[in-house]
Structure 1
């Protein structure tokens, strides 16, 4: 536990406030805009393909969790029948990523949810969330949860609250800056200062 006050983050590291949210009952679908997107399940995705889409969606927010995993560890997660990976498509273009994790009995973690930069705003997020919730709430599931952090899109937390999630925990995450580790380009997430 951290004491109240300021805590110095070492150079070469990033820090984020992580908020964990959950829903305990299926919410009514929220109105959505008409978009030209499709959601396609990708069975046993290739780790290289997955990482490429993960970077496209998450580089602006310094997503790094899947980038630092070994090929074998990532492939094992992606091949697990209780993990579902979906690509958001706009014709032949990949526009987003959805990953649902059912490995904990009676729960679904909305493990990754995001859109490529050109698709943020305009209703695509609501469209994707309605489909994520519909797929997450299946027989036997009594809890759907997600986490977001202060490095995510500034509207992410409010979006999850409007979607029916309720906060239940908060943490501080300190990690080596993924840009300095070569996981993401140094010009990723320019809104987060790079401190060498």
Structure 2
């Protein structure tokens, strides 16, 4: 990930009202690990490719998985822009189901040569800590490395589940970069309800 912005100085930096400040950790895996580190402990879990998903259904799952962690960037896209991403041959979308219920979202982006980014990865809050995330991550790693890549990477941030970085480390990723992201708060823009992610301060005065 490249940036043209200067480094932040030590000490406090003022942030305008309506903004979010997010500490982002980038992690990578540069060789294929031993496959199938975990087994599916629940026979009701399955993962399938979600080809050209219905946009309303996609947004509903995106919200169900990500609202507590302020996932929002896909919500600002028009139907045309979102459909273009999801139908791109370099983007693979998968859905994790428990029986008939959709409980997880995974997206792999192969548009950079010999690389794969895990752009979206998460399960609904009811499935956290029950093995669904491990099942889906093992699938993600095996699926990504089945392609001719040399690097698998993703980023996690201070808005994510507090166990996210440790989970990625256990999965075989190592941190390689750390950045600070400043964005407009999607709750003030109406992309997410004002009650979303109450653990993250909504800065307005």
TM-score by length of 2: 0.92
Work out the CA distance in 2 between the residues paired with 1:32 and 1:6: 46
Secondary structure, counterpart of 2:83 in structure 1? helix
Determine helix, strand or coil for the equivalent of 1:179.
coil
Match of 1:155 in 2: 163
Query: 1:21-100 counterparts in 2 under 5 A?
Result: 21-28=27-34, 29-32=36-39, 34-35=41-42, 36-100=44-108
Q: C-alpha distance in 2, partners of 1:31/1:88?
A: 16
Does the aligned pair in 2 maintain the 1:148–1:157 contact within 8 Å?
yes
Shift of 1:32: 4.1
Report deviation, 1:33.
5.4
CA RMSD of aligned residues (A): 1.1
Q: Gapped runs of 5+ residues in structure 1? A: none
1:140 aligns with 2:148: yes
Give the Å deviation of 1:158: 0.8
Q: Identify the residue that residue 3 of structure 2 maps to in structure 1.
A: none
Tell me the SS of whatever aligns to 2:74. coil
**d(CA) in 2 for partners of 1:182 and 1:86?**
27
The alpha carbon displacement at 1:167 in A equals 0.9
Aligned residues: 196
Off by >3 Å, runs of 4+ in structure 1: none
Instruction: Give the aligned partner of residue 164 of structure 1.
Output: 172
Greater shift, 21-30 or 56-65, is seen at: 21-30
Q: Which moved more, 1:176-185 or 1:3-12?
A: 3-12
Matched, 1:13 2:19: yes
